[in-house]
Chain A
Amino acid sequence: MTEIHPVGMPKWGLSMTKGQIIDWIAEVGDEIAAGDDLVEIETEKINGVLESPVGGVLRRRLVEKGSWVPVSGLVAVIADPSVPEEEIDRFVEEYRASWVPEEEGEEPAEAGPETVEVGGRTISYVRQGESGDAVVLLHGFGGDLGNWLFTMPALAERHRVYALDLPGHGGSDKSVEPGDLNSLARTLLGFLAVHGIDRAHLVGHSMGGLVAMAAALRDPRCVASLALIATAGFGTEMNAAYIDGFVRATGRRDLTPVLRLLFADPDAVTRRLVDDVLKYKRLDGVDAALRLLAGELFPGGAQRHVPVDEVARLEIPTLVLWGDRDQIIPPSHASRAPAHARIDLIEGAGHSPHIEKPADVNRLLASFLAGE
């Protein structure tokens, strides 16, 4: 292999224009496999680890710790050890000379959130990817479509990917009445109908996984497959303190420790993440929506619905992913997956492996969706 691979600042979500190098994980000269951690990056919204897109040797680290780099700006160079130093230098020079920064105010490459009426409610969603099967991403309790910022671009290469805000969440209507599981499943099936999608692969996280299963039970023909990440609906046990704490929190001080429960690494919770969740929680109607949903789905701090055995009988291809350090729903629930399901435990991830270990999750989702 004599190719030289540039590693640019990734774009994690629509609003990201630059990222800051928090710490280098890989050293110059290190042998790198595709998916290895290269560098820790902080954006205005989120902390993440940039994983190597390719295998090779890390030949250059072009940015110091603490520096800000615009999206797509050169961060590192990976190449085979046989490539001479001068050639690497020339490559860096050429990359920088031809590099064009993303202009502020320029049309974003991805579309921003759109809205659609489903059952008398406004539902906000984003869409990415031009061809292939439809894939619909469903966030968990208190989350929103932004939770999929690492997942969407990866799946959009081969699929038409939709991520929606469930009722009461994100940019969707905040009224959730009656707030039961069936009403959420109806909204999801309605969303598919409005877009003329006959069959979709459903990817659900936590409560979103439960909604996906409920939709499959209502109308199995609409569901091509189920990818369930740290899903609800496999058992009654759950961390009641999380739901209760999330619903009750009114400021940074009480919300921050609650959000830390979502991740194996507590540093994944940045001040911006806390502020964004607070801004959401302070919208009129959100408090009532969360209380109603929590009361319907998790009364008394336990899961009301455990449809996993019924869903198993549908024999829909199923992938079950769980972070081995999940503090919200026990990873042991993975063992209750349907017999035909593929099960993968994500090492070092908490309740949100698609945010904490996106490369692992993306790889597993991609191969599952490709029918491998």
Chain B
Amino acid sequence: MARTISYQQAINEALAQEMRRDPAVVVFGEDVAGGMGTEQDKDAWGGVLGVTKGLWPEFPDRVLDTPISESAYIGAAAGAASAGLRPVAELMFVDFMGVCFDQIFNQAAKFKYMFGGKAKTPMVIRTMYGAGIRAASQHSQTLYPLFTHIPGLKVVVPATPYDAKGLLIQAIRDDDPVIFFEHKVLYTLQGEVPEEAYTIPFGEAEIVREGDDVTIVALGRMVHMAAQAADTLAAEGVGCEVIDPRTTSPLDEETILESVERTGRLVVVDESGPRCGMAADIASLVATRAFGALRAPIRTVTPPHTPVPFSPVLEDAYVPGAARVAEAVRSIAVKESV
């Protein structure tokens, strides 16, 4: 039965349930146990924000703290996955990908292809992304476009507790490397989540709001900004269809295209940068494949092409908000005649 829990609890529950179901599932990363070697295992941190809290006491042999060496333990995950385990490695902040990217994009992502489909690499990398907690330029980026660019990787960006649990279980059971993006600001978000384990297939968009006038595509935290804008606009007589692709690779192109065929108008909202980002990618998809349906220019709402600022005032201005989304919609929408 469903009850209300947080995004963070949903992720924790997905890990715990899969670890109980499948002894091949192992969890490691910096401080994921966070209390190893102490007697106070109940006090173990369970990750820098407590997302993996409670796993180590239950699975002391399968939750491992690693040294501060991403290249070593992300590489270990790729190797363990090749050898039959189902590792879930935590890259504390996606901003640290630089030191371990070879293991991801030139090793794990290539195994299946280069061994003629005979190799499986069932690894998950959980990682935090996004601005909004005053963590400055090196801990606040939204980098899923970099991973989306690499064939062989699956990239998941859940926006709700329900999606976080179902997509993480799917990621753990999937036989390909999956990069699982968790927005720090969403960890406390509450939502209805079934107690039982369940999966959500990759490449299936969620339709968050239905509407006939303008299509808004948004990912991760931006889904909530888009939904808020849609509610404001509904009161003004503009019906927005809000689509959350949920995974950027594979991408549910069909749902986006079908919606734009109907509305003729598209706004893409994304927290990743404007250059070679998801907004540019989805705008290009629609311009290429549904040009004939468009009745207005495509609008994108993204941060500027700058690092995430540390100044709270500038950081707030950097992140797209509901007001900017609504403004973009108004600029291309034709209001219903009153």
Contacts and interface: CB of A to CB of B under 8 A. Distances in A.
Interface of A: 113, 115, 124, 171, 174, 250-252, 271, 279, 282-285
A279 B198 contact: yes
Given A113-B1, A124-B1, A171-B1, A284 B201 contact: no
A174 B197 CA distance: 11
Nearest to A112: B1
Nearest to B197: A284
Nearest to B252: A251
A282 B198 contact: yes
11 contacts: A174-B196, A252-B204, A271-B210, A279-B162, A279-B194, A279-B198, A283-B194, A283-B197, A284-B197, A284-B198, A284-B199
A146 to B, nearest CB: 12
A252 B197 CA distance: 20
B85 interface: no
Given A252-B204, A271-B210, 9 more contacts: A171-B1, A250-B201, A251-B201, A271-B207, A282-B166, A283-B194, A283-B197, A284-B196, A284-B199
Contacts of A271: 207, 210
A34 to B, nearest CB: 33
Contacts of B194: 279, 283
B200 interface: yes
Interface in B198-223: 198-201, 204, 207, 210
Interface string B26-61: 000000000000000000000000000000000000
Contacts of A174: 196
Contacts of A113: 1
B167 to A, nearest CB: 11
A282 B162 CA distance: 12
Nearest to A124: B1
**Overall SS of chain B's interface:** loop
Interface of B: 1, 162, 166, 194, 196-201, 204, 207, 210
A171 B195 CA distance: 10
Contacts of A250: 201
B196 A283 contact: yes
A283 B193 CA distance: 11
B18 to A, nearest CB: 10
Nearest to B166: A282
B210 A282 contact: no
Contacts of A171: 1
Contacts of A124: 1
A76 B210 CA distance: 27
Closest 8 CB pairs of A and B: A171-B1, A284-B197, A282-B198, A283-B198, A283-B196, A282-B199, A284-B196, A251-B204
A365 B140 CA distance: 61
Contacts of A279: 162, 194, 198
A349 B201 CA distance: 34
A124 B3 CA distance: 14
Contacts of A251: 201, 204
A261 B148 CA distance: 39
A330 to B, nearest CB: 35
A253 B166 CA distance: 19
Nearest to A284: B197
Contacts of A285: 196
